Chains A and B, each alone.
Chain A
Amino acid sequence: MIGASLSRWTVSYFAAALLALLLALALMAVGYGFPHVPVESPQTLVVVHLAVLGWLSLLMCGALFQFVPVLIARPLYSDAAPLSALVCLVSGLVALLLGFLALEGRIAATPSFLAAASLLLVMGFGLVLGNLLVTLLKGRPLPIPARFVVVGLASLALTAALGVTFALVRGGIADEEHLVELASAGIPIHAITGLGGWLGFCAMGVSYKLLAMFMLAPELDRRGSRAALYLGTCALLIGMPGAVVAVWFGGSRDLVLLAAGAPGLGAMAFYGRDILHVYRARKRRTIELNARMATLAFVSLAAAVLLAVIATLLSEMQRYSAPIAFLFAFGWLSGLGLAKLYKIVAFLTWLECYGPVLGKMPTPRVQDLVVEPRAGKWFLLYFIAVWLGAAALVFGYPGAFQAAAAAMLVATLGIVGELVRVRYLADVPKAGMPSGVRRPPMLWSAAQ
């Protein structure tokens, strides 16, 4: 069959992801983890993995189950596997967090948490990767956004492999010399491959397609987009496995990561130029809230890149790595994710609800499911809080960072409230529920 239908479990991934984000923000707001304790402390690991694995990775997996089929106009290979994957990933995340708490001494230390986390997360991501890669194989030759996704998925496999190595070493299960070396020196490589490779590349691919689609701009497959893809891939290959080789053979890890930064910067420059082009070449002059808010996410990305360049020039990467990662993860990836969720949830709900009766009876438009001015203020609060939080990290004000995290929490609660209203069709005029139209379930999609 040609075409794409609703991914049954995408909304479930979104719900689990948002819950993890709220938890991560709540912990940050009460001062749990960095900057009150070091970056590598178990407390910080709990917050970071809630945000990156629980929120961003589940969000991305859920989005890819829906959007890979759209990118290549072929259905997902298995519509059932995402549920098993979600169960593995969520239970793996819980086991991982328990493992971190055990490392901290909060709960009885036992190696089994980290071992169980490794097994469950490998199974979960294995199911996600297998399903998406088999789907992508059928869509060759792949359009450029799908090629970004392929590189992202390869990075996910490498990130997970490194994460499992750390878990097995720190859980006291593996003690092979090379693995122990990697566990102590590999954290920046794990972070860069995960944030930049897995989440960054997939976000780039999805944003190319989604922005062009909803703003009626030409699809990008020009020299600049391919340059961004190749330079970014080159940066990843230098970072991973390049930096791992450096760790094992006595080379300078930081020099290798710096060398990866040069093509990485080039990729960001080409990507930035492409995104500007999409906004400028759009046929739709008045754009929706999701596209307007996405611009604030891109500003955050530009700020993260600028800060990284400044930190490199000042040889102060150690000091600035936290605000850079914060801007990248919460400004760009999360900001873009929340903005796009606002459109995607409305679109999927509309399609699930009204798709079968389109043309047979009057139906509301997708935009009738949302109230943009009300949601807009939550998004603005979110981005302002992110920028203040990043500034608090740069200038070393932990109290201000907590206040910013609390504001992000309030803003995210507001956005989640809007998404729940969309799902309940709460803002659709009553005439929008003609006979034969059912309100969709909150946590999955019923229509097939």
Chain B
Amino acid sequence: MTTTFVDLDVRPLLAAGDEPFGKIMETVASLGPDVGLRLVAPFKPIPLLQVLASRGFDYEAREIGDGDWEVLFRPSGEHGPVGSAEEVSSERWPEPVRHLDNRDLEPPEPMVRILAEVEQMAPGEVMSALLGREPVFLFPELEKRGHRWKGGFDSGGTTYRLLVWINAKERVG
């Protein structure tokens, strides 16, 4: 399968002191089927590799000199995320406005923090969270409270990335 690529060079953003994660995820969200991302960065973006793997991308990274890296992300069709019952895969989710890293917390602390955060957020907002394990007891609680979620493990199976869309259940159906 031939993949076409959208180019994104985050070096200028980083040089200007900006955080490129939002821009990268925005670009990824806008990719059509069978379209990949060619990312150029001043370092090997290891956390991003895991995040995009959990969204179903394979990657190929190579150093292109001066410490800069080029990473090709291709849609793999595997590791597809799962989500709440209402999940419509083609629908575009808004960009997350809050990010939590709960990977080093013992259960059930990740669930506690996510629900605490969720209660602070406005309807329609999206939160992203990284976890060390699939939060199996959290999913029914999110659905009971009217939120939608989707999530999946990265290709290494060590980081679980979860997105929660606040009060989005009524948007469906």
Contacts and interface: CB of A to CB of B under 8 A. Distances in A.
B140 interface: yes
A358 B137 contact: no
A145 to B, nearest CB: 13
A237 interface: no
A366 interface: yes
Interface string A136-157: 0000000000000000000000
B46 interface: no
Classify chain A: how many residues form its interface, as a range: 20 to 34
Interface residue SS majority, chain A: loop
23 contacts: A1-B140, A2-B82, A2-B83, A2-B84, A3-B136, A3-B139, A3-B140, A4-B137, A5-B140, A70-B136, A70-B137, A73-B134, A215-B106, A219-B157, A283-B104, A284-B106, A355-B137, A356-B141, A358-B112, A358-B116, A358-B141, A360-B119, A366-B108
Pairs of residues from A and B, 5 with the lowest C-beta to C-beta distance, nearest first: A3-B139, A359-B115, A359-B119, A359-B116, A358-B115
B112 to A, nearest CB: 6
A3 B104 contact: no
A102 B107 CA distance: 49
A394 interface: no
A179 interface: no
A3 B137 contact: yes
B96 interface: no
Contacts of A70: 136-137
A216 interface: yes
Residue with the greatest number of chain A CB neighbours at <10 A, chosen from B82, B137, B158: B137
Contacts of A2: 82-84, 136, 139
B38 interface: no
B42 interface: no
Contacts of A248: none
Interface string B101-118: 000101111011001111
Interface of A: 1-5, 69-70, 73, 213-216, 218-219, 283-284, 347, 350-351, 355-356, 358-360, 363, 365-366
Nearest to A216: B106
Contacts of A366: 108
B17 to A, nearest CB: 32
A381 B141 CA distance: 40
B119 A213 contact: no
A3 B85 CA distance: 11
Contacts of A1: 85, 139-140, 143
Contacts of A214: 106-107
Contact of A359 (B117, B144, B158): B117
A215 B141 CA distance: 24
Contacts of A350: 108
Interface in B118-161: 118-119, 132-134, 136-141, 143-144, 157-158
Given A73-B136, A358-B115, 15 more contacts: A1-B85, A2-B84, A70-B136, A214-B107, A216-B104, A351-B108, A355-B137, A355-B141, A356-B144, A358-B112, A359-B112, A359-B115, A360-B119, A363-B112, A365-B109
